[in-house]
Chains A and B, each alone.
Chain A
């Protein structure tokens, strides 16, 4: 079985249109990020987050009233995975674990008949949140620099630039899609947690993996087809590796989809980021990484040094 027999599609021709498409998605995401703000999870924001499992569903409004006695009625209250699980989050800071205790006591008093068990309780001090944000930023920057360096050494500098631009693109697109869809579907919480940052770095890994495979083919084909133009060689290489691109990325995509649908609430945002990232990564290999290498080389030819 094979998906494609020998193909000869001119992938790079519509690249200008694709630049615009990418720019449009990212622009929409940036607007959404400005309007909604980044939905940081408890890790980065600091505060207290409790997930309680009740025996039967409760009204969120009633819960909010019950919390009123603590002065924390402004807390975020939403369901977590199922109707019976309630997540309560406040940025309120208190000594030790006092905030979590106050929430639990208030709910116990407000609903004496409803029993609950604590599924999860997190308290993050204000400085920790700041530190984690800083570390996450450093990690992403370090990853991009390392990749730029590695590809520049193994290929050419402009390939490194193309690959890193593609990675920027993937992270931004994923962030945009997450911001746009956050809160649109019930039970799909797309907050930026530590795990999601790990997912960003992983999608950087998966995406660069894909880019390197095509760059490798370009490197090889440049030696074989010496008379071809760079544009033709790139197109030839994308066509040569088309089956592999579809199979590998398709498999990773399906596997991640399984994780997204069946992996439970805790890994949901994580696998969502990776699913979106895989699509973006496949696309950006051709329309960002390879396209930048091509356009850069064409410009250099036009303006001879």
Chain B
């Protein structure tokens, strides 16, 4: 039977696909068990050896929601009124009383702030151009300007939060914009709540720092390299280093860098020899063009950060010298991601408060993206002095200590209008615009929702969720066999495939499994039975009517179809509505419910049918109890 064959192929393909999607989840589980079984340094070595596999598996496994693995979810909202207050000029008593009024009213009232704010001005007959824009601007123009400022503020706030979260090195953070004014930040597995809060508040710190001379930068790196292999640092660093006795410290520091994985002496290859002689330069590749930059592969970044933070390494670094990381990574030709390590002065030349405006645009002459930056008069004076004294030197622009750009000073800039070139794409220019403005204009945000789930509650939830699923499954399986005999067994097989498909689809879509999601699976187990019950009851009726087994099965499936179809469609529609209106946990439930319904239709209608056909073709009569 051709039809039968193509059905079998379809089923096998679906099963294979589900297994492929689930494989990383299994791998992740296996690695974690292995790491747990090993202790301390052994587990670190294991991690080193399997790092690529572990990271790959972690990326593609079924993700657990915050309610299951613990963590923090924060919803931030841009405080529009505060922003209106911040960007206004010539503020007087009238202005302040309006702000206070709007603040009081917006607490109770649903109207959005900008229209309410504008109406208050119109009620009092005050032109908004007194505080915003040019004196001749109409209120409509200013309303548009204020709306625009709100949009930009949210982008700034997102960039600031992303930059900080990135530095905090949370694994798998999720930062997204919701609607026009909100940011959702999800930080799984975060334990220290206090630290996270610091990430989310406070004004961003924008700084202009001069880069250290490339030669000095290289000498500092060299002294760290020497220190790590046990050579006493020479004239490169502070003289204090001379007094240090040859103790175990470099060994510790070395272990920090290499993760203790180096088996000394056994590696005789060229590469191995270089690693032994120059451990620091193995991990931090100095720029060949002598720019004083170092490049660190993404996977080594944490280690280099830890190494540089060590007091014995800090002692090798001169005063007024600091290593700063680039905010974004770049990809090399072989696809590896690298971060740049910049050597800058510790004291900033200027801070972001002097910036009045920044705009990304395009150079009319060569169509390259540029950013125009404008400073206030005080900043302009300083800027002229700094640029004048440092022509052909580089200035690092950093936000919260991450470097976003390090342009070279071309000439003395008088008047405060600077042009930054050298961006690779318009996107990069837009990012720099956001960063420059983030330092100048705070993006006032308020925490309007915060949910923390402690890791122990998460573990509890997983445990009770899984055991409830297991019990529900066992009960259903046993009951079906008891009630329908061998055809119950067929239904159970379909149920098993069903669960496999649900998990496979979850993994394939990179969806997140939440506790309500597990509840959705449990409910699906209960409802999946319904399709088989409908079919089996029909087959029983047809058998009672005197049909042969094969005819009864065919009729049973035909007649049960409309009921199965209509009832599942209605439930599926509910799933869509739940997904649309619900937030976080509810969406997780809706998703598994919908996947479950689709999987149920597939396994109950197709898989059981194929099994029955295979049996009757071989003249084996299944029992319907």
A interface with B by C-beta (< 8 Å): 1-2, 51, 53, 95-97, 117-128, 130, 132, 135-136, 138-139, 142-143, 146-147, 150-151, 154, 194-195, 197-198, 201-202, 204-206, 208-210, 212-213, 216-217, 219-220, 240-241, 243-244, 247-248, 251-252, 254-256, 258-259, 262-264, 266-267, 270-271, 274
**Cβ of A247 and Cβ of B516 under 8 Å apart?**
no
**Cβ of B447 and Cβ of A120 under 8 Å apart?**
no
**Cβ of A244 and Cβ of B516 under 8 Å apart?**
no
Which B residues, 523 to 580, have Cβ-Cβ distances below 8 Å to chain A? 523, 525-527, 529-530, 533-534, 537, 540-541, 559, 562-563, 566-571, 573-575, 577-578, 580
**Cβ of B447 and Cβ of A150 under 8 Å apart?**
no
With A251-B479, A262-B468 in contact, is A118–B454 under 8 Å at CB? yes
Residues of B within 8 A of A202 (CB): 523, 574, 578, 589, 593
Residues of B within 8 A of A267 (CB): 465, 515-516, 519
**Cβ of B585 and Cβ of A195 under 8 Å apart?**
yes
Question: Bound complex: CA of A123 vs CA of B448, how far in Å?
Answer: 7
Residues of A within 8 A of B571 (CB): 205-206, 208-209
**Cβ of B529 and Cβ of A247 under 8 Å apart?**
yes
**Cβ of A1 and Cβ of B567 under 8 Å apart?**
no
**Cβ of A264 and Cβ of B529 under 8 Å apart?**
no
Q: Assess whether B210 is interfacial by the CB under 8 Å rule.
A: no
Which B residues, 450 to 499, have Cβ-Cβ distances below 8 Å to chain A? 450-454, 456-457, 460-461, 463-465, 467-468, 471-472, 475-476, 479, 482-483
**Cβ of A120 and Cβ of B574 under 8 Å apart?**
no
**Cβ of B593 and Cβ of A264 under 8 Å apart?**
no
**Cβ of B515 and Cβ of A266 under 8 Å apart?**
yes
Residues of B within 8 A of A263 (CB): 464-465, 468, 519, 522
With A216-B566, A220-B559 in contact, is A139–B519 under 8 Å at CB? no
Nearest opposing residue in chain A for B589, CB measure: A198
Residues of A within 8 A of B522 (CB): 255-256, 258-259, 263
Residues of A within 8 A of B575 (CB): 205
User: Which 9 pairs from chain A and chain B are nearest by CB?
Assistant: A264-B464, A125-B448, A139-B581, A252-B526, A255-B526, A205-B574, A216-B563, A205-B571, A209-B567
Residues of B within 8 A of A198 (CB): 516, 578, 582, 585-586, 589-590
**Cβ of B567 and Cβ of A212 under 8 Å apart?**
yes
Residues of B within 8 A of A123 (CB): 447, 449-451
Nearest opposing residue in chain A for B625, CB measure: A1
**Cβ of B582 and Cβ of A208 under 8 Å apart?**
no
Q: Assess whether B583 is interfacial by the CB under 8 Å rule.
A: yes
Nearest opposing residue in chain A for B485, CB measure: A1
With A120-B453, A202-B593, A206-B571 in contact, is A262–B464 under 8 Å at CB? yes
With A195-B516, A266-B515 in contact, is A143–B446 under 8 Å at CB? no
With A139-B581, A198-B516 in contact, is A255–B475 under 8 Å at CB? yes
Question: Bound complex: CA of A120 vs CA of B201, how far in Å?
Answer: 21
Question: Bound complex: CA of A220 vs CA of B561, how far in Å?
Answer: 12
**Cβ of B586 and Cβ of A197 under 8 Å apart?**
yes
Question: Bound complex: CA of A46 vs CA of B566, how far in Å?
Answer: 39
Q: Assess whether B297 is interfacial by the CB under 8 Å rule.
A: no
Question: Bound complex: CA of A222 vs CA of B585, how far in Å?
Answer: 43
Residues of B within 8 A of A212 (CB): 563, 566-567, 570
Which B residues, 74 to 103, have Cβ-Cβ distances below 8 Å to chain A? 75, 77
**Cβ of A258 and Cβ of B516 under 8 Å apart?**
no
Write the nearest CB–CB distance from A119 to chain B, whole angstroms.
4
Question: Bound complex: CA of A47 vs CA of B573, how far in Å?
Answer: 33
Q: Assess whether B273 is interfacial by the CB under 8 Å rule.
A: no
Q: Assess whether B271 is interfacial by the CB under 8 Å rule.
A: no
**Cβ of B586 and Cβ of A194 under 8 Å apart?**
yes
**Cβ of A248 and Cβ of B530 under 8 Å apart?**
yes
Q: Can you list 6 pairs linking A and B with CB atoms under 8 Å apart? A: A53-B454, A120-B451, A209-B527, A220-B559, A244-B534, A251-B526
**Cβ of A154 and Cβ of B566 under 8 Å apart?**
yes
Choice from B193, B449, B479, B525 contacting A125 with Cβ under 8 Å: B449
**Cβ of B446 and Cβ of A95 under 8 Å apart?**
yes
Choice from B448, B525, B570, B583 contacting A205 with Cβ under 8 Å: B570
**Cβ of B452 and Cβ of A121 under 8 Å apart?**
yes
Write the nearest CB–CB distance from B6 to chain A, whole angstroms.
29
Nearest opposing residue in chain B for A5, CB measure: B544
Question: Bound complex: CA of A256 vs CA of B529, how far in Å?
Answer: 14
**Cβ of B570 and Cβ of A258 under 8 Å apart?**
no
Q: Assess whether B197 is interfacial by the CB under 8 Å rule.
A: yes
**Cβ of B471 and Cβ of A262 under 8 Å apart?**
yes
Write the nearest CB–CB distance from A243 to chain B, whole angstroms.
6
**Cβ of B581 and Cβ of A119 under 8 Å apart?**
no
**Cβ of B574 and Cβ of A204 under 8 Å apart?**
yes
Residues of B within 8 A of A147 (CB): 570, 573-574
With A96-B201, A122-B451, A123-B450 in contact, is A201–B577 under 8 Å at CB? yes
Not counting A135-B582, A255-B476, a sample of 7 additional A-B residue pairs whose C-beta atoms are within 8 angstroms of each other reads A1-B625, A97-B197, A123-B451, A206-B523, A216-B567, A247-B537, A259-B472
Residues of A within 8 A of B456 (CB): 53, 117, 119
Question: Bound complex: CA of A264 vs CA of B461, how far in Å?
Answer: 6
**Cβ of B578 and Cβ of A139 under 8 Å apart?**
yes
**Cβ of A151 and Cβ of B570 under 8 Å apart?**
yes
Q: Assess whether B107 is interfacial by the CB under 8 Å rule.
A: yes
Residues of B within 8 A of A122 (CB): 450-452
Residues of A within 8 A of B515 (CB): 264, 266-267
Q: Assess whether B67 is interfacial by the CB under 8 Å rule.
A: yes
Question: Bound complex: CA of A254 vs CA of B474, how far in Å?
Answer: 12
Q: Which of B67, B75, B452, B525 has the most CB of A within 10 A?
A: B452
Write the nearest CB–CB distance from B60 to chain A, whole angstroms.
27
Question: Bound complex: CA of A126 vs CA of B67, how far in Å?
Answer: 23
Nearest opposing residue in chain A for B569, CB measure: A150
Question: Bound complex: CA of A95 vs CA of B625, how far in Å?
Answer: 65
Question: Bound complex: CA of A240 vs CA of B538, how far in Å?
Answer: 10
**Cβ of A213 and Cβ of B563 under 8 Å apart?**
yes
Write the nearest CB–CB distance from B513 to chain A, whole angstroms.
14
Residues of A within 8 A of B585 (CB): 194-195, 198
Residues of B within 8 A of A258 (CB): 468, 471-472, 475, 522
Nearest opposing residue in chain A for B476, CB measure: A251
Residues of B within 8 A of A128 (CB): 75, 448-449
**Cβ of B577 and Cβ of A266 under 8 Å apart?**
no
Write the nearest CB–CB distance from A176 to chain B, whole angstroms.
22
Nearest opposing residue in chain B for A198, CB measure: B586
**Cβ of A136 and Cβ of B581 under 8 Å apart?**
yes
Residues of A within 8 A of B448 (CB): 124-125, 127-128
Write the nearest CB–CB distance from A2 to chain B, whole angstroms.
7
**Cβ of B467 and Cβ of A262 under 8 Å apart?**
yes
Question: Bound complex: CA of A93 vs CA of B471, how far in Å?
Answer: 42
Residues of B within 8 A of A244 (CB): 530, 533-534, 537
Residues of A within 8 A of B534 (CB): 213, 244, 248
Residues of B within 8 A of A217 (CB): 563
**Cβ of B523 and Cβ of A274 under 8 Å apart?**
yes
Residues of B within 8 A of A266 (CB): 67, 457, 461, 515
Nearest opposing residue in chain A for B200, CB measure: A96
**Cβ of B465 and Cβ of A124 under 8 Å apart?**
no
Write the nearest CB–CB distance from B483 to chain A, whole angstroms.
5
Nearest opposing residue in chain B for A194, CB measure: B586
**Cβ of B482 and Cβ of A1 under 8 Å apart?**
yes
With A125-B448, A139-B582, A146-B577 in contact, is A255–B523 under 8 Å at CB? yes
Question: Bound complex: CA of A127 vs CA of B40, how far in Å?
Answer: 48
Question: Bound complex: CA of A159 vs CA of B515, how far in Å?
Answer: 35
Write the nearest CB–CB distance from B44 to chain A, whole angstroms.
27
Nearest opposing residue in chain A for B522, CB measure: A259
Write the nearest CB–CB distance from B179 to chain A, whole angstroms.
10
